[in-house]
Structure 1
Amino acid sequence: MEKEIRIDSRYPSIDDLRKRAQKKIPKFAFEYLDGGCNEDVNLHKNTSQLREVELLPYYLNKHTKSDMRTELFGRTYSAPFGIAPVGLQGLMWPNAPEILAKAAFEHNIPFVLSTVSTSSIERISEITQGNAWFQLYHPAKDELRDDLLRRAHDAHYEVLVILCDVPTFGFRPRDIRNGLAMPPNMSLGNIVEILKKPQWAFNTLKYGQPGFETLKPYMPKGMDLKQLGKFMDATFSGRLNEDRIAIIRDKWKGKLVLKGVATEHDAELAIRLGLDGIIVSNHGGRQLDAGESTIRPLSRIASLYGNDIIVMMDSGLRSGPDIARTMASGAKFSFLGRSFMYGVAALGDKGGDHTISLLKTELKQVMEQICCERTSDFENHLVR
């Protein structure tokens, strides 16, 4: 049975959760979560240009009820949005991936685990009873790639997401100042920040220092921070190409999704290689400050290729109306990352449940207001 909607009335918006999160977690963790790259131009464009999308309400149409259920890859989810993959989730709030995976499972929406999150493939599968998705950062060595694919298959993940928008690390001034570039540095200032956030510090002690749990079987024991940085640099080669994708398509028998698509060219390539879906994304504005916001290429790609491949979107969504705008622009599904991390950082164990409930409530209100009965009908309400 799907979990009931429960909202903490003190935090009736994602912005309320963001403000609360900023007060509860150390500055270096909040800025890692909240920031973009370079001057944050694309970070802000993602949301501002998405909110230029307008919807038409047909008030005199016959309307019975609005149903948020959405079919995707053979499953029917309770809403057309999921939890996007986020790296180092446990740094921002201890045990965050487990909290969010549990909430996603109970609310019947997808949770996507990142290779570099702080929980393992096996643990998230256990929490979600095999209903999670796994996002693969492409390894430099074929043996590691194949073993990660094997583990995801054995843990019953049905959807594999491969990431194409991190051929190099984004230039993120906040993280550099805070010592969160690789290798990270726990400066005196960061230690002071930890002491100022006792609940975060206590929970970190309770759950242990966050680490790359999925990668632990491949990491030499006893590495210091400098050695960890060198290990990560040597282990991953984020640059995908047609040959690498074709090999993964051949090996992975489940659904395969390409995340980070920003051009018609890459969408065409995904179709030609037999992928099942694409996520139009610019990594939350964290990689290319001079690029487009996500809503611009989404509209073009969905118009051209929406009948040939499942088109989804993330980056910039912060509310139920934002999800509606994205669906009206042609996406079949959407994902949010920061919004859920704000929720967990603000409310701890209750944050996932609250954030999903809030987004469902907002989205349902929009559907009722514009007389939209099914999520597939959103496109009929787009102001063109």
Structure 2
Amino acid sequence: MAHNFNKKYPSIDDLKDKAQKRMPRFAFEYLDGGCNEDVNLHRNTSELREVQLQPNYLRSHKGSSLKTSLFGIDYDAPFGIAPVGLQGLMWPNAPEILAKAAFQHNIPFILSTVTTSSIERISELTEGKAWFQLYHPTESALRDDIIKRAEAAHCPVLVILCDVPTFGFRPRDIRNGLAMPPSMSVQNILQILGKPTWALNTLKYGQPSFETLKPYMPKGLDLKQLGKFMDQTFSGRLNAERIKPIRDMWKGKLVIKGVASHEDAEEAIRLGLDGIIVSNHGGRQLDAGESTIKPLETIAEKYGDQITVMMDSGIRSGPDIARSLASGAQFTFLGRSFMYGVGALGKQGGDHTISLLKAELQQVMEQLCCENVNDFPNHLIKKN
């Protein structure tokens, strides 16, 4: 396996530990936390890791390839970088670091509406290969303008988000002043002073802001006004009436993220969407909900021949990617793992994390005698 990564950090847990030491507590807890009591955050990964795979040691094996095709595009691995809000708050310049790494490794990067780099900048860095995730505006004129910008940036896939009808209740963020409206307390300032690398990089790249939204924001908003602006400008609740005009306007591939039920999967198919990402927002929205792997297994089995089924939430490693693919996902996305990478290693974090995941996944494939990613379901040990 010719996947090169920093041998001092041979696991995502190593990156997480290093990132925690380099990031202010409020930033790390925003990244690492779920909602309420973090039950579904932990359930996502623990129940995914109950999936077991069957190796075939005596079968003829010609080698394993991570390459896969998604929406007519050939990628070098069956995973991509999920949309994450406020990336530049967690680590300065994070979206650009990750977009560059994704482009170099030929995997998809999804830019969030509410992250800290613009559609145009990320398109420039990826030569128009980045996907864009739309957080739905309340006004159709704003929605249409953002979609036109994504089209002008040559984004091949538009992702619409359905699992944030309301902000998750996140006690750590509330304590840290990162709810809406956000605030910066004396305690947070002291945390920043204790993390000089983060602070110096923030000085270098500037205070993070919603770069994609800048053209629509009044100048000089204070923190309280920013919260009011976001609340008035966006509504995360989707329905058929809101999706139809997006489907009519967007000529590329259209994907909905946050599907967690058969009813929503059927509606996505009825509305003519090209793909669904089975997701529970990384356990950040509904603590009483299912882990992502549970609905994936049945949704993929029932609808996988009608629509492209993908998954995120709870995936932390190469074996986790393998478990997800074996359970029916045609592609996977990871968010926190990549942010741990940039938090730990800065500019090298994106390349390191992608290389590490590729190495882990290739080892699993060779161990299973799995020659291509489409063969993973044949290695799934099904429960009685």
Q: TM-score, normalised by structure 2?
A: 0.99
**SS where residue 332 of structure 2 aligns?**
strand
How much has 1:274 moved relative to structure 2? 0.6
2:61 is paired with a residue whose SS is coil
After the TM superposition, which residues 97-116 of structure 1 pair with which residues of structure 2 at under 5 Å, given as runs?
97-116=95-114
Give the match for residue 337 of structure 2.
339
* Distance in 2 of aligned mates of 1:87 and 1:133: 14
CA distance in structure 2 between the partners assigned to 1:195 and 1:358 by the alignment: 31
Q: How many Å separate the matches in 1 of 2:3 and 2:106?
A: 12
- Partners in 1 of 2:241 and 2:191 — Cα distance? 45
Aligned to 1:186: 184
Whether 1:240 and 2:238 are equivalent positions in the alignment is yes
Structure 2 equivalent of residue 27 of structure 1: 25
Tell me which of 54, 60, 65 is aligned to 2:52.
54
Aligned residues with identical type, % of pairs? 76
Q: Which residue of 1 aligns with 2:315?
A: 317
1:279 counterpart = 2:277 = yes
Aligned twin of 2:148? 150
How big is each residue's C-alpha offset from its partner over 1:102-154, in whole Å with a ceiling of 9 and x where there is no partner?
00000000000000000000000000000000000000000000000000000
Q: Matched residue of 1:256: which SS? A: strand
- Secondary structure of 1:161's aligned partner: strand
Please name the residue that 2:194 is paired with: 196
The equivalent of 1:251 in structure 2 is: 249
Instruction: Letter of the 1:133 partner, please give it.
Output: W
Structure 2 counterparts to residues 329-368 of structure 1, below 5 A: 329-368=327-366
SS in structure 2 opposite 1:180?
coil
- For 1:317-364, what per-residue CA distance to the aligned partner results, in whole angstroms no more than 9, with x for missing partners? 000000000000000000000000000000000000000000000000
What's the counterpart of residue 10 of structure 1?
A: 8
One-letter identity of the residue aligned with 1:331? A
Out of 62, 70, 82, the position equivalent to 2:68 is 70
Equivalent residue number for residue 89 of structure 2: 91
Aligned length: 381
Partner letter of residue 339 of structure 1? S
Matched, 1:120 2:86: no
What is the CA deviation profile of residues 23-67 of structure 1, one whole-angstrom value per residue up to 9, with x for unaligned ones? 000000000000000000000000000000000001111111001
The Cα shift of 1:6 comes to: 2.1
Give the letter for the 1:304 counterpart: K
- RMSD after superposition: 0.5
| CA distance in 1 between partners of 2:86 and 2:312 (Å) | 18
SS in 2 for 1:109: coil
Give the equivalent residue in structure 1 for 2:291.
293
SS at match of 1:135: strand
Structure 1 residues not aligned, in runs of 5+: none
Q: What is the one-letter code of the residue matched to 1:217?
A: P
The whole-number CA distance in structure 1 between the counterparts of 2:90 and 2:104 is: 22
Query: What amino acid sits opposite 1:211 in the alignment?
Result: S
Structure 2 distance, partners of 1:305, 1:156, is 29
1:139 is aligned to 137
Secondary structure of the residue that 1:318 maps to in structure 2?
A: coil
Rounded Cα–Cα distance in structure 1 between residues aligned with 2:183 and 2:213 = 21
Give distance in 2, aligned partners of 1:159 and 1:184: 31
Counterpart Cα distance in 1 of 2:232 and 2:242? 18
Once the two structures are TM-superposed, the CA of residue 247 in structure 1 deviates from its matched residue by 1.1
CA distance in 2 between counterparts of 1:134 and 1:6 reads 29
Q: Which residue of 1 aligns with 2:165?
A: 167
CA distance in 2, matches of 1:329, 1:66: 19
What SS does the corresponding residue of 2:333 show, helix, strand or coil? strand
Question: What residue in structure 1 maps to residue 36 of structure 2?
Answer: 38
User: Could you list the runs of 4 or more consecutive aligned residues of structure 1 that deviate by over 4 angstroms after TM superposition?
Assistant: none
**Distance in structure 2 (CA, Å) of the matches to 1:199 and 1:317:** 28
1:223 pairs, out of 214, 221, 239, with 221
Q: Which amino acid aligns with 1:58?
A: N
Paired position in structure 1 for 2:205: 207
**Could you tell me how far apart the structure 1 residues matched to 2:44 and 2:28 are?**
19
Query: Which residue identity does 2:296 align to in structure 1?
Result: L
CA drift of 1:5 comes to: 2.9
**Partner Cα distance (1:254, 1:231) in 2:** 30
Secondary structure, in 3 states, of the residue corresponding to 1:238? coil
Deviation, 1:89, is: 0.1
